[in-house]
Structure 1
Amino acid sequence: MEFSIKNKFIKKSKMKKSWKDRIFDITIYGIAIVMILMIIYPLWFIIIASFSNPADVSNGKVWFWPKEWKLDGYMELIKQDIIWRGYLNTIIYTIVGTIIALFVNIPAGYALSRKELFGRKWISTFYIIPMFVSGGLMPTYLVIKNFGLLDTFWVLVLPFAVSAFNIIIARTFFKSSIPETLWEAAQIDGCGTFRYFLTMVLPLSKAILAVIGLWTAVGIWNSWFDAMIYISNENLQPLQLVLRRILISNESLLGTASGELASELRRLSEMMKYAAIVISTLPIMCLYPFLQKYFNQGVMVGSIKE
């Protein structure tokens, strides 16, 4: 009886918060809500602006909902045949590039996490140096040209597959999350290194696989500068570069037009800009919620001190 009374007293004391605690909670929740709105509202504004009249947007008449719904920007983009080709190219680049990046970076990170690896510190230093010092654009271009990768599909997925940052993150994850006793138990059962990595380590590494995969996929999806430098074939250009070309061509036409034609082109150009942002970011935004759980777990790996 006395024990139950103490438990009730403890529960009541925990339930009762002082006015300082309540003010602190209200402040924290208020700051969190403001930060969420600061992130969500620009995204929402881009979406509603893509369906709105550019004149209403520029005059400040569009805040939370389109004054009148218009699909002109999306219709003009959909009419462009190169949009669909660019979409397909970007999807293929993203899938293949992400698979290759995981295939390269995850085993490298695991190898560097093993204490028995000969020259582990020197190899780690070899990976860290390129994070701060790069060869530059011209040497990279010459290397890619000498390997015969210019104007090919593989130029966007092979040369930049290795990421020193991702390797270091994967190494930290394996060192902090995979217990050494698991390897010792696997050795007792006659499990070799490759079998241990494939059957035991990888199934326990979903978090880091999701994080590195998401980082790589977003980077490839949003990349346009590498394609502009290394690809001139229109059939191989990704979506981001195709959208850039369309918008630049619209600006050129706008400079040569006048009168009502110029105002109409200006209106379509503004709507197409917003529509292009929505079209290019929508797949990644749809993919992120499914990987958010693993992303939140793995993104903290880099904060662990070795």
Structure 2
Amino acid sequence: MEMNRWLIRLLTVLLVGGLLYIPSVSHAAGKPHGKDKEKTAYIDVAVATLWTAPGILRPVDAPSASNPVDIWQWKNDMSYEQQVQLSDDGMLETQALYGNKVHILEEKGDWVKVAVAGQPSPGDELGYTGWMPASQLVYNNKFDKKAEKPFVMVTSPTAFMYQTPSFRHKDVELSFNTKLPYLGETKHAYRVLKPDGKHAWIKKNDAAGYKSKQAIPAPTGEDLVATGKQFLGLHYLWAGMSGFGFDCSGFTFTMYQSHGITIPRDSSVQAKHGQPVDFAEMKPGDLLFFAHDQGKGNVHHVAMYAGNGMMIHSPNSKKDVEIIPVKTKGYIEELSGIRRYLPDHK
């Protein structure tokens, strides 16, 4: 039965010229392996939200599960209680950005379980996992072949793609840290490849071009803090991983990844890696971890040291990204450790 369904979709691919949407695949072992095209895909929306189970969306969540998505509307429409429910009920896992590669693990109706490449997780070697609508994924041979080649990365908090280099017709609004294959450039714009195989343009003022991920300049701690300051005032979003909203570890993860350094996705795991640092030896860019039971329990929060006794973080559903003293009441009592991820103590 699965083979018949696969053949039908393969014929569809040939008819429409190579554009492949998520195929029905069976994974007896529970995880895909290798680079089988039937088992990988790319995010086709500005930000894809991964859920802990399929079909648990509330009516207010509809803008996050469509194609295209409207993350601003989703955040604006949610009440504080609805925002808190996302974390208290354990509804979300993480998010993935436009063009991000995912491995397909399972299919259930209109939903697929995926592992996000580039988001390390101790639970799955392929990446952080979660459920998302299949309609938000696409596979295209041309994009796949160029995905690891020179790329353009969005450096503004959010930035529009445009259909022409004259910037007259807006396309998708992209998040910070979105990476797309480089196709060319004009004086003021980069030409990029979209996951569906089409091309678009991004203003050079909103992005940077690199020959490879290894070509991203090694940052200093001050660089990381300066990048984080772009998001001051951005409201928190549980599981958020984008310029539309971050959770605490999504914020620290993204600041590092945008500078070419990949750290674990969750604060509890971030707290176990890197180099331990004494409080008196903190430098900008170091990560501070906070735990229940006066710092002796489970880690529940992470912030980045900003220098001069201050830290920058995305705290909770009541607040926005902010800079506050490390010794702020309610935080300093729960400080459980400090970790450094920058090489050579930069």
- The structure carrying a bigger helix percent of its residues is 1
TM-score, structure 2 as length reference: 0.20
- The structure carrying a bigger strand percent of its residues is 2
TM-score, structure 1 as length reference: 0.22
Structure whose alpha-carbon radius of gyration is higher? 1
Higher relative contact order at CA 8 Å, sep ≥6: structure 1 or structure 2?
A: 1
